[in-house]
């Protein structure tokens, strides 16, 4: 699979670069904060307009390198700390906010030529804000599920995929296309993670009930309950009808590569016009 082979290649380059940084005395937390600052700069470049969008892509590429290297650096140098994980999550969320608020600010400040006046594009502002909500929910569902002793991961629209979407949109001048994609498509991953968390929580709860029953039976000297519930495990590949839903397949599979390829082609070749159907819809409802 293309994504699997690419992952192995970049993992090799990442580990070599992390080894060099380790010898220079670079600390993982410093890279984490630097990545956040670069991402914030990319968000500011998105807000400043088309002339700055290529710089946003460059800054995002540099921030992505920091994001890849901080974990590898911590692992190779045995520098993992509990606070490092907390800092990484906080910086990721701050970076997400910058990447979505940047386009939202741009579409607020950009005059609406189609409307004949300097009006904000309500549709694109709404989609940028919705994309930020999906980004936060995708991470939050997993965190809450893991707190409950279950799993809530999986789905296509994880943070690297979202960042690459914005990067490609900025690089090719198709930020409008990226905003439409991120404002609508990641809702599928939110739904998938909720579904997966529900199944995983039910399995964890059933396993806990069986364990409690066995402990009670052992204490009373009675025969314990036979069998065991399935504990929450790793994500499995979709089966049956779910197999045709490309957004539910994990990285390293052909459906994932097909999905990723379709998104990349859209970002390269499709420049969605800055239409504002939400404003038109609201205008119909107003007296």
Q: Reduce the DSSP state of residue 112 to 3 states and report it.
A: strand
CB neighbours of 213 closer than 8 A, spacing ≥ 6? 224, 225
Is the backbone of residue 78 left (phi > 0), alpha (psi -120 to 50) or beta?
left
Least confident range from 40-54, 182-196, 224-238, 273-287: namely 224-238
What domains appear along the chain, each with residue ranges and CATH number? 2-81+89-207+243-285 (1.20.120.1760)
Q: Distance from CA of residue 17 to its chain's centroid?
A: 24
Between residues 78 and 190, which one has the greater pLDDT? 190
Q: Distance from CA of residue 29 to its chain's centroid?
A: 21
Please give the average per-residue pLDDT across 122-139, as a whole number.
Answer: 95
Q: Which residue shows structure tokens 């390829």?
A: 261
Per-residue pLDDT tens over the stretch 209-235: 888 777 777 766 555 544 444 444 444
Confidence label for 105 from pLDDT (cuts 50, 70 and 90)? very high
Cβ distance 60 to 166 under 8 Å? Answer: yes
pLDDT above 50 for 118: yes
**pTM of the predicted protein model:** 0.83
The four Cα atoms 196, 200, 202, 206 give a dihedral, to 10 degrees, of 160
Q: Which residues belong to the active site?
A: 92
Mean pLDDT for the chain overall: 83
Return d(Cα 37, Cα 33) in angstroms, integer: 6
List of E strands, the chain: none
């Amino acid at each position: 699979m293309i994504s699997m082979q690419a992952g192995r290649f970049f993992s090799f380059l990442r580990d070599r670069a992390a080894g060099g940084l380790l010898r220079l005395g670079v600390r993982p937390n410093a890279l984490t904060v630097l990545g956040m600052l670069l991402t914030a700069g990319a968000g500011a470049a998105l807000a400043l307009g088309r002339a700055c969008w290529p710089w946003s892509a460059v800054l995002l590429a540099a921030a992505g390198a920091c994001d890849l290297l901080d974990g590898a650096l911590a692992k190779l140098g045995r520098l993992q700390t509990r606070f490092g994980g907390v800092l990484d999550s906080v910086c990721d969320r701050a970076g997400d906010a910058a990447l979505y608020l940047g386009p939202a600010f741009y579409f607020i400040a950009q005059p609406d030529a189609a409307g004949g006046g300097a009006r904000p594009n309500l549709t694109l502002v709404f989609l940028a804000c919705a994309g930020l909500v999906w980004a936060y929910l995708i991470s939050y569902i997993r965190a809450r599920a893991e707190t409950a002793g279950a799993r809530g991961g999986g789905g296509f629209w994880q943070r690297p995929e979202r960042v690459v979407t914005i990067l490609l949109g900025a690089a090719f001048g198709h930020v409008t296309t990226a905003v439409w994609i991120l404002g609508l498509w990641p809702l599928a991953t939110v739904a998938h993670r909720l579904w997966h968390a529900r199944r995983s929580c039910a399995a964890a709860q059933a396993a806990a009930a069986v364990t409690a029953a066995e402990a009670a039976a052992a204490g009373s000297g009675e025969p314990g309950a036979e069998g065991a519930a399935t504990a929450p495990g790793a994500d499995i590949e979709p089966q049956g009808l779910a197999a045709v839903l490309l957004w539910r397949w994990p990285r390293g599979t052909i459906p994932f590569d097909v999905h990723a390829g379709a998104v990349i082609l859209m970002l390269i070749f499709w420049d969605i016009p800055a239409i504002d159907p939400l404003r038109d819809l609201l205008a119909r409802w107003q007296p």
